[in-house]
Amino acid sequence: MLRLSKKMLFAIEAVLDIAYHAGGETVQSREITRRQGIPRRYLEQALQQLVRHGVLVGVRGPRGGYRLAKERRKTTVGEIVRVVRSMETAEDPLQDDGGSPLAQQVVRPLWAELHDTLMTHLETVTIDDLCTRADGAGILSDARRHLDFSI
């Protein structure tokens, strides 16, 4: 069952931060922590999992950091949610065999339907969509702040 957790929010915020502020460069985790206020212990764990699952690419070295593994218009919130769900070890109550017939045949199927509907929607929301929302909200991107058009 999908449950909104801090890890999930932090992972979505981190990927959005990378997409919105990178401008083609890598973004270091300390920059994400500074901008988003995400505790490093949550952030590093989430970033490593997102790299393992192909959402991000980790670049080593003094100019290293993280960048999206593919275009932001091809990265969905649903992908990030699936990665975080795989990290969380909490037991899923929908998988419990116990309970009354009402629970098993009415309530749990309802929650399963809601979960499927939500995941279907999250698969249509891209990181590019969220970047557009951030831009519309007037949030200044570090990438735009550092643009240099001089020749």
pLDDT of residue 24: 80
For residue 77 the two structure tokens come to 């919130």
Q: Tell me, yes or no, whether 85 lies in a domain.
A: yes
Q: Tell me, yes or no, whether 116 lies in a domain.
A: yes
The number of distinct structural domains making up the chain is: 1
Q: Tell me, yes or no, whether 151 lies in a domain.
A: no
Model pTM above 0.75: yes
pLDDT at 148 over 50: no
pLDDT of residue 99: 79
| Residue 151 CB partners (closer than 8 Å, separation 6+) | none
Q: Tell me, yes or no, whether 48 lies in a domain.
A: yes
pLDDT at 149 over 60: no
**What's the CATH code of the domain at 110?**
1.10.10.10
Tens digit of each residue's pLDDT (9 = 90 or more) over 22-81: 888 899 999 999 999 999 888 999 999 999 999 999 999 888 999 999 999 999 999 999
Q: Tell me, yes or no, whether 150 lies in a domain.
A: no
pLDDT at 150 over 50: no
pLDDT at 146 over 80: no
pLDDT of residue 76: 98
Q: Tell me, yes or no, whether 53 lies in a domain.
A: yes
Where is pLDDT greater, at 1 or 43?
43
Q: Tell me, yes or no, whether 1 lies in a domain.
A: no
Phi, psi dihedral angles at 57 (to 5 degrees): -120, 130
Q: Tell me, yes or no, whether 76 lies in a domain.
A: yes
Task: Please name which of 22, 6, 12, 34 lies closest in space to residue 66, comparing C-alpha atoms.
Answer: 22
**Which range marks the domain in which residue 92 is found?**
6-145
In contact, 50 and 90? CB cutoff 8 Å: no
